[in-house]
Amino acid sequence: MSYSHHQEKHYIHRTGWLRAAVLGANDGIISVTSLIMGMAASGASTHTLLVTCIAGLISGATSMAAGEYISVKSQVDIEKADLHMEARELEKNPGHELKELTHIYTLRGLTPELAHEVAVQLTAKDALEAHARDEIGIHENTAANPVQAAGSSALAFSLGALFPMCSILLSPDQYISTVVMIVGILSLATLGGLSSYFAGTSIFRGSARVTLWGILAMAFASWIGSLFNVTPV
C-alpha cells in the first residue's frame, strides 16, 4: 500500500510576525493620520503638520518596538519558567508526570490503554517536549521571538506612517486634511484586506473592520482638534 504525502496549508505559523506587522501598520496609519487631522482641524500650518507627522512616526515606531519587545519577552520568560518547573517535576516525580500525560490523552478521546502507551512512547522520545506541548500548550509554531516582533512592529508602524507623510508632501495646502483622510481610509482598507488574506479569513470583513475603526478615530481626532483653533485672527 503506497502512501502519498499530503501537506495541508495552515496559517498558525504566521501568528507571530503577522500580529506584530498588522498591529504596527494599523497603528501607524490610524494614529499618525488622526494626529495630522486633529492638528489640521486646529488650523496648524503645513510645516507644523509635517513636523508633527515626523515626530509621530519616530516616537510611535520606537514606542511600538519597545512595547512589543517587552510584551513578547515577558511571554517568553513565563514559558521558560514553566518549562523549568516541568523539567524539575519530571526529574522528581516521573511516574506522576506519566500519569498526568496519560490523563490528558484520555480526556482527548483515547482509551486508557492507548493513552498510556502513547504517553510512554512520547516520554521516551522527549518527555519535556511532550509536556510542553500537551500540558502547558507551548508549541514551536506559536512561540514568539521578541526581537522579530519588535522589529516587525517598528518597521510596520513606520511604513504605515509614511502614508500621511506623503499625503502632506504631495497635496496642496488647502486640501491637506482631505487628502490625508482619503489616503488614510484607502490604506486602512488595503491593510485590512491584506492581513485577512494572509490570515486566511474574509477579506471584505477584515477590510471593513479596520476601515470603520480608523474612520471613527480620525473623526474623533478632528473634532478634538477643532476645539483648539490656532488660526491667526
pLDDT at 24 over 70: yes
pLDDT of 212 reads: 92
Integer Cα distance of 226 and 233 in angstroms: 15
The helix (H) or strand (E) run that includes residue 127 is helix 112-131
- Contacting residues for 64 by C-beta, under 8 A, at least 6 apart: 23, 24, 27, 28, 153, 154, 156, 157
| pLDDT, greater one: 67 or 6 | 67
Helices then strands, counting H and E runs in the chain, come out as 7, 0
pLDDT of 56 reads: 94
Integer Cα distance of 11 and 88 in angstroms: 34
Instruction: For the chain, give the mean pLDDT.
Output: 84
Going by C-alpha positions, the residue among 135, 100, 136 that lies closest to residue 115 is 100
pLDDT at 71 over 60: yes
Per residue in 104-135, pLDDT tens? 999 988 898 999 999 999 889 888 888 888 88
| pLDDT, greater one: 231 or 170 | 170
pLDDT of 35 reads: 92
- Contacting residues for 123 by C-beta, under 8 A, at least 6 apart: 94, 97, 98, 101, 130
